[in-house]
């Protein structure tokens, strides 16, 4: 558990981060979202003490981060940044093994960990281990950057706009990968982004920052359904709110008995996908399948009722 306790950062009398308090549960993804200048990156960098807080403190599993020397603290906290920050003169294996090497892991343990992570990120170790970063595509570089941040099994992974440099299609895939890997490893992740879409897609919890203050902290559904301020509502986008809400709900929540014409959608697709299918093909209901068998249908009316209910 990560506890952020009234943490404040002042630059020349201006509060970049103003008394932010929040708690991050172990094994969850918290996305900090805000416009540029909102203090979200400063907040993240105070957790591994790349910035020293002016006041307040951060506790990881009950222990204050101020109790450890900054460089020793950082070896326990993964850190992935926009543009990956890989060392251009080191191979992929050496880049991923950087933190375990700082921690003096034995050589064979580092090698095994590197191969394990490459496999986890769908990169064949034999093929990629000895390549240099410049020999990889943008998406591969980004994956190696995240693998490096996870290499020493850190208590916490901090990510600063990790997907900012990727094109939209690769970014969506990287987000899915991160979700899958986070579930597999049970990692605790704090991720900073300016993209509300990304925040809703990835976050178990979303924290919205504005002018150095934490204005709302809750589940994606809460952020969409009950925005605390006009700023949050604006970030979510007034027009897109019902669609964003629907994108959070899987079809299995609304599935009912009955037949429907046309192609079936998988049960873990979102209501937004089903709505799009209805509108596009002029159907009033779509069939739902699980493991190849049709298990029922979701109707257009049910989707509309669900969107109205919350909004």
Tokens standing for residue 240: 């897109």
**Which of 1, 19, 22, 50 forms a contact with other proteins (CB under 8 A)?**
50
The residue length of the chain stands at 311
Given a contact cutoff of 8 angstroms between Cβ atoms, the answer to whether 265 and 223 are in contact is: no
Least gap, CB of 233 to other proteins (angstroms)? 34
107 is a site residue for other proteins (CB under 8 A) = no
Give the integer Cα–Cα distance in Å for 76 and 72. Answer: 7
Distance CA 16, CA 8 (A): 8
Per CB under 8 A, does 63 bind other proteins? no
Residue 25 contacts other proteins per CB under 8 A: no
The minimum distance between CB 79 and other proteins, in angstroms, equals 3
Q: Which is nearer to other proteins, 133 or 227 (CB)?
A: 133
Angle at CA of residue 190, ends 3 and 24, nearest 5° = 30
The yes or no reply on residue 120 touching other proteins (CB under 8 A) is no
* One residue of 86, 92, 157, 181 binding other proteins per CB under 8 A: 86
> Can residue 176 be called a binding residue for other proteins (CB under 8 A)?
no
- Encoded one letter per residue, x for contact with other proteins by CB under 8 A and - for no contact, window 142-171 reads ---x--xx--------x-------------
Asked if 58 touches other proteins (CB under 8 A), the answer is no
- Asked if 42 interacts with other proteins (CB under 8 A), we say no
Nearer to other proteins by C-beta: 150 or 298?
150
Q: Which is nearer to other proteins, 145 or 296 (CB)?
A: 145
Query: Contact between 272 and other proteins (CB under 8 A)?
Result: no
- 3-state secondary structure (DSSP) of residue 295: strand
How crowded is the C-beta side of 192, counted as CA atoms within 13 Å? Answer: 23
DSSP codes, 157-215: EEEESTTTTS-HHHHHHHHHHHHHHHHHHT--EEEEES-HHHHHHH-SEEEEEETTEEE
**Residue 86 or 207 with smaller CB distance to other proteins:** 86
- Residue 71 found at the interface with other proteins (CB under 8 A): yes
d(CA 158, CA 45): 8
Per DSSP, 103 falls in state T
**33 vs 191: CA distance, rounded Å:** 8
Residue 72 is a binding residue for other proteins (CB under 8 A): yes
- Give whichever of 75 and 290 is closer to other proteins, judged by the CB atom: 75
Shortest separation between residue 128's beta carbon and other proteins, angstroms:
14
Residue 67 touches other proteins, criterion: CB under 8 A: no
Helical H runs in the chain?
40-47, 70-75, 92-96, 98-102, 107-120, 125-128, 138-150, 168-185, 196-202, 220-225, 230-236, 241-247, 271-281, 300-310
Instruction: Determine if 102 is a binding residue for other proteins (CB under 8 A).
Output: yes
**Cβ-based nearer residue to other proteins, 158 or 223:** 158
Which of 74, 113, 143, 201 touches other proteins by CB under 8 A?
74
């Amino acid at each position: 558990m990560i506890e952020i306790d009234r943490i404040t950062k002042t630059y020349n009398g201006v509060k970049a981060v103003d008394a932010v308090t929040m708690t991050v549960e172990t094994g969850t993804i918290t996305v900090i979202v805000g416009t540029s200048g909102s203090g979200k990156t400063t907040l993240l960098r105070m957790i591994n003490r790349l910035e020293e807080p002016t006041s307040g403190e951060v506790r990881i599993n009950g222990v204050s981060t101020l109790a450890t020397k900054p460089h020793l603290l950082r070896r326990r906290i993964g850190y992935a940044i926009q543009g990956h920050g890989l060392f251009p003169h080191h191979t992929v294996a050496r880049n991923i093994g950087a933190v375990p090497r700082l921690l003096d892991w034995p050589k064979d343990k580092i090698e095994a960990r590197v191969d394990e992570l490459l496999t986890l990120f769908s990169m064949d170790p034999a093929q990629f281990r000895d390549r240099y970063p410049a020999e990889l595509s943008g998406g591969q570089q980004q994956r190696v950057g995240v693998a490096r941040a996870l290499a020493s099994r850190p208590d916490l992974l901090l990510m600063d706009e990790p997907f900012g440099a990727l094109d939209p299609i690769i970014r969506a895939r990287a987000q899915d990968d991160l979700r899958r890997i986070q579930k597999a490893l049970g990692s605790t992740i704090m991720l900073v982004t300016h993209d509300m879409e990304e925040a809703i897609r990835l976050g178990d919890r979303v924290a919205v920052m504005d002018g150095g203050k934490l204005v709302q902290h809750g589940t994606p559904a809460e952020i969409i359904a009950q925005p605390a301020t006009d700023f949050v509502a604006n970030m979510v986008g007034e027009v897109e709110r019902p669609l964003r809400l629907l994108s959070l709900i899987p079809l299995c929540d609304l599935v009912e008995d009955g037949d429907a014409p046309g192609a079936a959608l998988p049960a873990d697709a979102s209501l937004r996908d089903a709505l799009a299918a209805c509108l596009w093909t002029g159907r009033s209901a779509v069939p739902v399948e699980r493991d190849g068998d049709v298990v029922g249908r979701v109707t257009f009316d049910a989707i509309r009722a669900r969107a109205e209910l919350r909004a």
